[in-house]
Every structure is written in C-alpha cells, then in structure tokens.
Structure 1
Amino acid sequence: MTDIQDYQGGRRYETFSYLPAMDAEQVRRQVEYMIAQGWNLAVEHVEPTKRAFSHFWYMWKLPLFGETDVQVVLDELEACRRAHPTHLVRLIGYDNYTQSQGSAFVVYRGREA
C-alpha cells in the first residue's frame, strides 16, 4: 500500500484548513456563530505530528456548556495556546440536537519547539 500524500502546502486539519488562516476578527465571528446556534463549545489540543489524524486530541478543561460570552471562549483558546505553544489548538461546537459536531476548526497551529 502506498503512503497517502499531503495536500500541496502541508497538512490540512478540520473545516477551514483549505482557506487562508483566519485573523482574530474572523475567529471571533465563527465563535459568535457557534454560540448563536446554541452549540456547546470545547477546546482541544494535540502535538503537531504526522499522525494527528489517528490520535485523540487532549481536551482543554471541560466543555464550555451553555457559554454565551464570546470573550470567555476566546480567552480559553488563548490560555490553551499559552500553556501548549507548540500544539495545534482547535475549537469544536457540539450540536445537542443532532448529537454531533456542528463545526470544528484549528485556531492555532503552534510554533516549532
């Protein structure tokens, strides 16, 4: 079996990975959208390895059940990035109605160790 090759430009993760990196305002708008949908948000992180797809991501604290303040979510994303500067950090929106992820995207790609 041959190895699967990366998409041109490196690894792609989650929903928006084929688009240019989002700036702070675009991330804020995505968080606002997820909150408006009534989704429960969670922050996760993982080491940037070639096998990031086959490993579980570490949960950063508990999910932010019922959180309606955008700034609280952004602060948790930043706190996770500061605690794990070399990790990928993603935000997930869990949809209670469909009992699935409504959205998930990498917010920070981490820096080299």
Structure 2
Amino acid sequence: MSNVQDYPSRLSDPASRKMETFSYLPPMTKDQVRKQVQWIVDNGWNPAIEHTEPANAGGYYWYMWKLPMFGETDVDAILAEIDECHDANPAHHVRLLGYDNFTQSQGANMVVYRGQMV
C-alpha cells in the first residue's frame, strides 16, 4: 500500500482549508492557469468567475463576478476578467468555473487566487 499524505485541513484554521482538487497542489503558474482556461474553451464550456472572503470559502454561496461568459473563446479575455476580479477583491479567493451545456453542471472548478485572512 502506498503512503497517503494527510492534509491537516481544519474548519478552525481557515488558512488550511482546501476547496477543490487543485488546492492540494502548489499554486498554479500563469501558464498553467492559461492551459486550464484553454481546456475549458476547447471543450466548449462557458467560463464563469466567482469570488468570496476566505472565511466564507467553505460555504455554498460565492459571489458571481459579472455574468458567465457564454460563448467566450478568447483565452486572453477570460484571463483579463480573472485578473480584474482579483484586482477588485484582492483579499478574496477567486475561482474559475467551466459550465458544461450538455450536462448542465460545472465541468471544471478551480481556485486561481487564494485570498488572505484579514
């Protein structure tokens, strides 16, 4: 049996909370984020951006940044919106979603920027 690492994520420690699969990895580089956005676009999914305070990240409700970008295929435009959301809410977590029209659900969900507890 392989050694499985335990991540000490606790509700009492907001800095330790994990929000999705990628949050267990080191932060993504700009190039890695670009590749994820490209993958969402290549699959024909609709990107959307959400943000919230780190203390509320475990909740189901995140604030939507503008409307989902229905039909948007320009990766640079999507990345610009992610950065604009982060610039407007520097202390918030910012996540990128990819909505799959066929299954009518989220096909991708990743935190791109992690905010700091204030």
Fold agreement, TM-score > 0.5? yes
Equivalent position SS for 1:78: helix
Please tell me the residue identity of whatever aligns with 1:41: P
Deviations along 1:12-35, one digit per CA (max 9) or x if unpaired, are 112311111100000000000000
Task: Report how many aligned residue pairs link the two structures.
Answer: 107
Against the structure 1 CA distance between its residues 96 and 77, is the aligned structure 2 distance closer, same or farther, given a 3 Å change threshold? same
**In structure 1, C-alpha distance between the alignment counterparts of 2:106 and 2:23, rounded to whole Å:** 16
Larger helix share, 1 or 2: 2
Larger strand share, 1 or 2: 1
Query: Of residues 37, 41, 51 in structure 1, which corresponds to 2:47?
Result: 41
Query: Of residues 79, 84, 96 in structure 1, which corresponds to 2:84?
Result: 79
**In structure 2, C-alpha distance between the alignment counterparts of 1:15 and 1:36, rounded to whole Å:** 21
Provide the identity percentage.
55
* Paired residues of 2:54 and 2:117 also in contact (CA < 8 A): no
Look up the match of 2:9.
Answer: 6
Query: Of residues 8, 14, 21 in structure 2, which corresponds to 1:15?
Result: 21
Provide the TM-score with structure 2 as the length reference: 0.84
Q: Does residue 101 of structure 1 match 2:106?
A: yes
Unaligned 5+ segments in structure 2 are 1-7
Cα drift, residue 110 of structure 1: 1.9
* Paired residues of 1:15 and 1:103 also in contact (CA < 8 A): no
Look up the match of 2:71.
Answer: 66
Q: Which runs of 4+ in 1 moved over 4 A?
A: none
Cα drift, residue 55 of structure 1: 4.0
Please tell me the residue identity of whatever aligns with 1:12: K
Q: Does residue 57 of structure 1 match 2:62?
A: yes
